[in-house]
Structure 1
Amino acid sequence: MNKTKFEHGSTGRLRIHVLPTQRFKTFAISLYVGSPLSEDTVTSTALTPFVLRRGTESYPETTQFRERLEQLYGAGFGFDVYKRGDYQIVQFRMDTINDSFVQSEESLLASSFAFLGEVVTQPALEDGHFRNAYVQAEKENVRKKMESIVNDKIRYAAERCLEEMCREEPYRLHPLGQIKDLEAITSESLYKSYKKWLAESSIDLYVVGDTTFEEVQKLVEQHFHLDASAPTSYESHRPTREVRDIATIVEKMDVSQGKLNMGLRTTITYGDDAYASALVYNGILGGYPHSKLFLNVREKESLAYYASSRYDGHKGIGTIQSGIEVQNYEKAVTIIRNQLEEMRTGQISELEMSQTKAMIRNLLLEMDDSAFEMISFDFNRQLSGKDRPVEQLVQEVENITVDDVHAAAATFELDTIYFLQGQKEE
């Protein structure tokens, strides 16, 4: 495993993280801009990167914007909007070929910084605000993306389960925002919220490639025109598990197959020493093809078209997803709850332990082959305040015992059952 560490520092508003390496033929650049999930800002924040990618001060037309990327030997540029815990994260990415592999008159790393810095801090404007045509077009684009979630019933059921489970918490919000908020957003109001977002968010810049921390720091100072205040840090919230009756929600839509989702709460988060135990717990429960949910609900009983589980270590939430025939609802709920009970009583085989550890180990070690995966993993440190290198997490997983998983299982409590069924079904 590559033991090279990220070098960390800051300049002005930005925290900077650089991994100097000659292993890759490209520079991988990621800029994370994170802000607390809030009903007041979630939609405008989600819309912002869609508008920013339309044009900058130097390349105000979208065609010019794309041509500039082509001039940088086809540099890749993209963004994602997602949530981690109770934060909404906008991630910009650039993938640029290393200067040593092309004959370029300009430094491609410097040019990429100039481009990304301008995208984020010097957008194309008209009359002192965003271009109205861009804002209107991207509002429609975001609306279609949000509507597409309803059409994808697997995603829809997963979102609705979390929405019901966290109805009093910011986590209920979808990172793309709410359709009902789009109509009121104008180019003036969006520009105003963009300026506030940029001034108050936590900003982390990552670079992996054949460079140095000092070079990246100079490029940031040259090309990122932000105020000089100190970086804003993420606050990690320790989840509290309320003892309450399990909420059951049944929703009817035009679906041919029922979607059964369950939400569980745990006190274990990424920053906890027991995090590795929770990872193994989720893997045995439903994370992989050898897991209890897959084998017992899908294979043995033939009750589900799919059955799996996920664990969000930044929020302290586990989720179970399955697709079933509507008439099998009661039976499926019983068998899934039986699997949860097996985990709680420590009915875990050595084979389940060894297979799960092997799967987690392979996934962690594969990160070493991708610059962006390495960046994504290190960003967990910023979000949680916990410094846990990959090799340390691999070792922690290796050391987990059945008793450790049993202890982790005791913290996972079923909170919500959500069932999406056909309108004609009873």
Structure 2
Amino acid sequence: MTNNVFQHGTVGGLRIHVMPTKAFKTYAISLYAGIPLDEKTVTSTALAPFVLRRGTATYPETTQFRERLEELYGAGFGFDIYKRGDYQIVQFRMDTINDSFVQSQESLLEQSFAFLGEVLTRPLVEDGSFRPSYVATERETVRKKLESIVNDKIRYAAERCIEEMCRNEPYRLHPLGQRADLDQITQKSLYESYNSWLDDAILDLYVVGDTTAEEVEKLVQRHFGRVQSEAGLYSSKFVPVSVNEVRTVEEKLDVSQGKLNLGLRTSITYKDDKYASAIMYNGILGGYPHSKLFVNVREKASLAYYASSRYDGHKGIGTIQSGIETQNYGKAVDIIEKQLEEMKAGNISDLELSQTKAMIRNQLSEIPDSAFEMISYDFNRQLSGKERTADQLLGQVEQIGAEDVKAAAETFQLDTIYFLTGKEE
């Protein structure tokens, strides 16, 4: 069995991905559940996992739930909610010590599957709905998380720029939902939406550790029996959005430092053969401390407290984030736009190319050190339908020259300028 290769299969409504390896002392288990981002369901889908972690049929009290994890030699359990392209993804994770390192009567892998299967499919139900106190408490948890975004102005500006740019697309929605929807969600309506979410979600279960695909399939049949939905596929159809004119949005809040964010559209996505050129483009533009934005906007012109860029390959958009003095708005926009033009003109030095390749090489070569990083990388394949190992991606990155980055730059079109500024005195 070669190392670092996932074996793929399907059991019922679950796609299964197993990497048998003795490289780690733990089992890494990850379950992804994805549904299309939708205004009607986004908030209840986000709230459900918070309630699921409070109690199950066997461990109805939150203290029992936590004690059970302690009994599994301090197994780690957690979840994340995020968006990838136009999908809202809930990811459950478990990290359990390998059976060979402990004296346990029953397999810890089996007990972890039993626990995760129960969290997902056998929550605590009272009178045909979730426990009211759990729903009430977790509603406040989600509300506070959404409110904390408003208080963190850097995050807030980044979210608002996306909201404005994608105002007619599902991608505008925050993966944690909308504060205005929380009060409408009752224990009964949440239980109903949880059931339809479980029926409709695209489910991918990953296991990395000292096991086999056959063993995992048996454990799935035993502990995820309720999951009957057809194992669907993520739709990877992508329609590039063409930009007719740049939109400028200014918002005033009580801030001492202006936040200038720009949104760009590109036709290059994760499944595109030019993906390596796009990540090189982002790296040279603003992904790292040696990038054009950092050097020219922050260091040379002293116009920004921070200046960086990001690229979302599942959605085909790039974003630029910077913090500036409000009176420097015009200068900052000019100098940022100049960096975009420099990229399109192919004014890229050998040093910028080699430093960016070194940074990407470091990131990609660290993936095999972490089971969850390998899982996360492979999940990109499920989302995009594109086969490309980290080694293959690295090989493509190493081949890229200034002309390739210039060609990628020509696909990035400025779409939205969002400026968060202070209220007038």
CA contact (8 A) 2:198 2:227 kept: no
What is the aligned partner in structure 2 of residue 24 from structure 1? 24
Cα distance per residue 1:320-371 (max 9 Å; x no partner): 0000000110000000000000000100001100100110011001011000
Task: Report the more deviating stretch, 273-282 or 234-243.
Answer: 234-243
Partner SS, residue 395 of structure 2: helix
What is the aligned partner in structure 2 of residue 136 from structure 1? 136
Distance 1:21 1:349 in 2: 42
What is the aligned partner in structure 2 of residue 74 from structure 1? 74
- For 2:403, the aligned partner's letter is D
- For 1:362, the aligned partner's letter is N
Distance 2:212 2:387 in 1: 22
- For 1:279, the aligned partner's letter is I
Deviation at 1:226, TM superposition (A): 2.5
Distance 1:280 1:410 in 2: 13
Task: Give unpaired runs (5+ residues) of structure 1.
Answer: none
- For 1:408, the aligned partner's letter is A
Cα distance per residue 1:274-314 (max 9 Å; x no partner): 00000000000000000000000001011100000000000
What is the aligned partner in structure 2 of residue 98 from structure 1? 98
Deviation at 1:237, TM superposition (A): 2.7
Sequence identity percentage: 72
- For 1:414, the aligned partner's letter is L
What is the aligned partner in structure 1 of residue 405 from structure 2? 405
What is the aligned partner in structure 1 of residue 359 from structure 2? 359
Deviation at 1:402, TM superposition (A): 1.0
Distance 1:81 1:228 in 2: 23
Task: Please tell me the root mean square deviation across aligned C-alpha atoms, in Å.
Answer: 0.9
Deviation at 1:4, TM superposition (A): 2.7
Distance 1:154 1:177 in 2: 19
Distance 1:232 1:52 in 2: 23
What is the aligned partner in structure 2 of residue 65 from structure 1? 65
Task: Give unpaired runs (5+ residues) of structure 2.
Answer: none
- For 1:419, the aligned partner's letter is F
Q: Where do 4+ consecutive residues of structure 1 move more than 2 Å?
A: 225-230
What is the aligned partner in structure 2 of residue 231 from structure 1? 231
- For 1:233, the aligned partner's letter is L
Deviation at 1:136, TM superposition (A): 0.7
CA contact (8 A) 1:34 1:90 kept: yes
What is the aligned partner in structure 2 of residue 152 from structure 1? 152
Distance 2:205 2:32 in 1: 6
* TM-score for the superposition, normalised by structure 2: 0.99
Distance 1:196 1:245 in 2: 40
What is the aligned partner in structure 2 of residue 113 from structure 1? 113
Partner SS, residue 130 of structure 1: coil
What is the aligned partner in structure 2 of residue 209 from structure 1? 209
Distance 2:239 2:368 in 1: 31
- For 2:152, the aligned partner's letter is D
Distance 1:190 1:341 in 2: 49
What is the aligned partner in structure 2 of residue 245 from structure 1? 245
Partner SS, residue 16 of structure 2: strand
Partner SS, residue 366 of structure 2: helix
Distance 1:35 1:259 in 2: 32
CA contact (8 A) 1:37 1:171 kept: yes
Partner SS, residue 29 of structure 2: strand
- For 2:145, the aligned partner's letter is K
* TM-score for the superposition, normalised by structure 1: 0.98
Distance 2:311 2:243 in 1: 20
Deviation at 1:3, TM superposition (A): 4.9
Cα distance per residue 1:166-202 (max 9 Å; x no partner): 0000000000000000011001100101000000110
Partner SS, residue 15 of structure 1: strand
1:349 aligns with 2:349: yes
Partner SS, residue 424 of structure 1: coil
Distance 1:356 1:227 in 2: 44
1:394 aligns with 2:398: no
What is the aligned partner in structure 2 of residue 261 from structure 1? 261
Distance 2:316 2:37 in 1: 16
Deviation at 1:227, TM superposition (A): 4.2
CA contact (8 A) 1:13 1:226 kept: no
CA contact (8 A) 1:12 1:226 kept: no
Deviation at 1:243, TM superposition (A): 2.9
Partner SS, residue 260 of structure 1: strand
Distance 1:319 1:422 in 2: 22
- For 2:281, the aligned partner's letter is Y
What is the aligned partner in structure 2 of residue 220 from structure 1? 220
CA contact (8 A) 2:96 2:109 kept: yes
Partner SS, residue 323 of structure 1: strand
Question: How many pairs align?
Answer: 424
Distance 2:125 2:238 in 1: 41
Partner SS, residue 228 of structure 1: coil
CA contact (8 A) 1:27 1:209 kept: yes
